[in-house]
Amino acid sequence: MTKKIPIRQQVQNLASDTAAVISGVVAGNGIFVSEQEQWNRWSICKSCEFLENTKCSKCGCFMEVKTQLAAVECPIGKWKKVNNGQVPPCDDCSAT
Ligand code: SF4
């Protein structure tokens, strides 16, 4: 069983993600990713050991929602935020 994230940390994560979304919009990256990118992200989450139902036990976020947002990323680098319309490779993907 994974360790639960304290509510205080979840609120801080939500505030941080909200700020990232606003910054992304200001930078012209938009709010949402494409359906294809959302599907890619969600597929990674669904096979991740840290997903509990639809909630990530690393960040405390509901991943069906978070995976739609362009300016946020996986807390352990399994998928990245969109930057200037480009999707950088995940940490494992870029290690080769
Ligand atoms: S955001 Fe990252 S750590 Fe959380 S469930 Fe998805 S892939 Fe796993």
Q: In 3-state terms, what secondary structure has residue 18?
A: helix
Ligand 1 atom with the smallest distance to the CA of 45 is: 6
- Residue 28: pLDDT over 70: yes
Mutate to test the pocket of ligand 1, among 78, 81, 90, 92 (most ligand atoms within 8 A of CB): 78
Q: In angstroms, how far is CA 8 from the centroid of its own chain?
A: 19
Query: What pLDDT, on a 0 to 100 scale, did the predictor assign at position 95?
Result: 58
Q: In this structure, which residue's CA is closest to atom 4 in ligand 1? A: 56
Residue 80 to residue 87: CA distance in whole angstroms: 7
- 56: phi then psi, degrees, rounded to nearest 5: -80, 125
Picking from 53, 61, 58, the residue whose alpha carbon sits closest to that of residue 20 is 61
Query: What pLDDT, on a 0 to 100 scale, did the predictor assign at position 49?
Result: 97
**Distance from the alpha carbon of residue 53 to the mean position of ligand 1, in angstroms:** 12
Which DSSP string corresponds to 37-59? Answer: HHHHHHHHHHT-TTEETTEETTT
Query: Model pTM?
Result: 0.85
The model's pLDDT over 8-17, given as tens digits with 9 standing for 90+, comes to 999 999 999 9
- Residue ranges covered by each domain of the chain: 7-83
The model's pLDDT over 31-77, given as tens digits with 9 standing for 90+, comes to 999 999 999 999 999 999 999 999 999 999 999 999 999 999 999 99
Query: What pLDDT, on a 0 to 100 scale, did the predictor assign at position 87?
Result: 80
Q: Does the CB atom of residue 63 touch ligand 1 within 6 A?
A: yes
